[in-house]
Amino acid sequence: MQREDPDLPALARRVIVGVNSTGASTVITDERAVPCTRLSNGILLQEVWQQRGIPAAPDDRPEPEWTLGPAAPTEGAVIRILTVPAANGDGPAEPNLHTDPSLHVITMLSGELVVLLEDGEVALGVGDSVVLRDSMHDLRNLQPRPATFVYTSFPLTKNDSEH
């Protein structure tokens, strides 16, 4: 995918390190060809890594046919870079509070996001992280420039004693 907007970050570079035939660590792949999707709301989603099973095996590789789109995984884990476009000046749309049975970790790389919750909100800036555990939320970029973050997601199991 070509960069459509100079304010957007460069596409992610993914370097995968493994072990060569002599047992020494080495670069297995070095590419800027991570799968990219432009969602209908303008968000650019880059799939940095997908892990079908946990724990991981030393020779695991991303599976191009295992495309999740924006959904959180129901097994394994994903690591993505997402870029939310700049606010368009129309004011924020109605909140789209949503959840899924996952643990999400979001760490800001650039810009600012507001995480809307059922009972309040929290603003995140560069270097800030939020951990969402099966929590109703919505993400908003209210600033005049894009906001980029790393998103890691793992499915949760329900503990019957919690309910």
- The mean pLDDT of 117-137, rounded to a whole number, is 95
Give the C-alpha separation, 1 to 158, whole Å. 38
Q: Are 77 and 51 in contact (CB under 8 A)?
A: yes
- Whether the per-residue pLDDT at 132 is higher than 80: the answer is yes
CB atoms under 10 Å from CB of 24, counted, come to 7
Output the pLDDT for position 67.
63
In this prediction the pTM is 0.83
In the sheet with 129-133, reading across from the earlier edge strand, the strands are 36-38, 44-51, 77-84, 147-155, 102-110, 129-133
Q: Which residues, including other chains, have CB under 8 Å from residue 110's CB and lie 6 or more apart? A: 9, 126, 146, 147, 148
- The mean pLDDT of 116-133, rounded to a whole number, is 96
Q: Are 55 and 13 in contact (CB under 8 A)?
A: no
**Parallel, antiparallel, or unpaired: how do β-strands 113-117 and 77-84 relate?**
unpaired
- The mean pLDDT of 23-41, rounded to a whole number, is 87
| 44-85 per-position pLDDT tens digit | 988 888 888 888 888 887 776 666 667 778 888 889 999 999
- In the chain, beta strands by DSSP E: 14-19, 25-31, 36-38, 44-51, 77-84, 102-110, 113-117, 120-124, 129-133, 138-140, 147-155
Give the C-alpha separation, 137 to 149, whole Å. 16
Q: Are 147 and 141 in contact (CB under 8 A)?
A: yes
